[in-house]
Amino acid sequence: MALGSSRVNVNNRQGIDYRQMAAGFARFGRPIIDAHAHIHGKDASKVYAEVQELFGVGVTYSMTQLHLCAEVREVMGERVRFMCIPTFSHPDKGHAFRAGYLEAIQEYHNQFQASVMKIWSSPRVREIVPDGERDVWAIDSEWRVRQCELAVSLGMKIMVHIADPDTWYQTKWSDAKKFGTKRGEYEALERMLERFKVKWIAAHCGGWPEDLEFLTGLLARHANLHFDLSATKWMVRELSKHSRAEVLEFLTRHKGRILFGSDIVTMDDHVTAKKGMPESIKSDQASSPEQAFDLYASRYYALRTMFERAGDSESPIADEDLKMVDPGKFDAMSAPILRGFGLPREVLEDLYFDAARGFWGI
């Protein structure tokens, strides 16, 4: 079957042949490490494994649901490593985010030698665990602390998803009484960075690619903190608003602490036509192997174009946040400017693998 079709879709606005374009990127002495993805599904992992190979990614650190790790490992072997996440699909979400997560962390350790435990602290947790204000919502709340204690006792490092894009605080999280403030999340994070001295990754450019100055202060105050640059649409939209000089200065100053990542989410729902209720909102993103290929490949293509190439272009990926913030000006196919930062090779090597090798002590 011909994968990587040139059909125009939300993940391929310009009808690019991503397979052909992948071959045009530089090869480095070592494989790229993707520090942040979510790989699920036997068939979807096969599509993803091809994309991984095409774009020079050798190892992917994946937050895979515990019960789906074995089938992903079967397809990908040593090209995937697992990180712990709560069992989002569990019918009792309160349990999944409390004692259920302690059980899951232990199993990730026993069965899959997971080296990182993730705290997921988007404001959405307030909707998922509505009774968790005192013991679950905050990054430094009771159950989060217990989970960190267990992870650290098992020799793990910690990843945190903190906050969400500014665009979401302007729209769906704008009710601060219900969802808290973005700045408030960081006060709790800083207490945890003090309390648990292991290495941390704050995902998605520390959750605040909109404000590099704030992030520089955060990194200066906490030597154990690292970032990944995952969440392709968010990174492309917001990093592209900074000048090349600002981004280059940020990455150079924080050498060794900023890791490449995609936040690619794969699932078998992406490779089949939908019948009945989709497994999650993410399953609507593709419904054939060709569309799944474009969905996954577009992330590496956009990120590598932004980091390696020079010149501004429109992102190949439609970004629904534009319409969410300004529905009068944007539609479902609108995309932001993607700035080509044309980073020097030594900066790319640090971002693509040296920082990750340092983080994991490879």
Sites of contact with Zn ion (CB under 5 A):
263
CB nearer to Zn ion: give 61 or 143: 61
**Rounded least distance, CB 122 to Zn ion, Å:** 10
Quick check: 38 and 64 in contact, CB under 8 A? yes
Q: Which residue number, 263 or 290, has a Cβ lying nearer to Zn ion?
A: 263
Q: Give least dist CB 263 to Zn ion, A.
A: 4
Q: Which is nearer to Zn ion, 263 or 319 (CB)?
A: 263
340 forms bridges with which residues in the sheet? Answer: 311
Report, in Å, the least distance between residue 7 CB and Zn ion. Answer: 27
Q: Which is nearer to Zn ion, 202 or 338 (CB)?
A: 202
Closer residue to Zn ion (CB): 64 or 240: 64
Q: Is 35 helix (H, G, I), strand (E, B) or coil?
A: strand
CB of 21 to Zn ion, least distance (A): 24
* AA identity, residue 115: S
For the bound state, the minimum distance from the C-beta of residue 315 to Zn ion, rounded and expressed in Å, comes to 19
In the bound state with Zn ion, the residue whose beta carbon lies nearer, of 4 and 41, is 41
Q: How far is the CB of 67 from Zn ion (least distance, A)?
A: 18
* Residue whose C-alpha is closest to residue 291's, from 321, 319, 266, 254: 266
3-state helix, strand, coil in the chain (%, to 5): 50, 15, 40
In whole angstroms, give the CA distance from residue 31 to residue 101: 32
In this structure, are residues 36 and 229 in contact, taking their beta carbons and an 8 Å threshold? no
Neighbours of 187 (CB within 10 A): 12
CB 280, min distance to Zn ion, A: 13
**What is the C-alpha separation between 55 and 50, in angstroms, rounded?**
9
Q: How many CB atoms lie within 10 A of CB 360?
A: 17
Nearer of residues 263 and 350 to Zn ion, judged by Cβ? 263
If the CB atoms of residues 65 and 216 are measured against Zn ion, the closer one turns out to be 65
Contacts of 190 (CB under 8 A, 6+ apart): 218, 221, 222
Answer for the pair 210, 238: CB distance below 8 angstroms, yes or no: yes
Q: Are 135 and 143 in contact (CB under 8 A)?
A: yes
Q: How long a stretch of residues is the chain?
A: 362
> Does residue 191 contact residue 162 with C-beta atoms inside 8 Å?
no
Q: Which is nearer to Zn ion, 238 or 263 (CB)?
A: 263
- Chain residue at closest Cβ approach to Zn ion: 263
Write the CA distances from 1 to 55, 284, 292, integer angstroms: 20, 22, 13
- What SS3 state is found at 262? coil
Cα separation values, 199 from 156, 169, 222, 226, 257, Å: 9, 28, 10, 7, 10
Which CB atom, from 83 or from 286, has the smaller least distance to Zn ion?
A: 83
d(CA 94, CA 90): 9
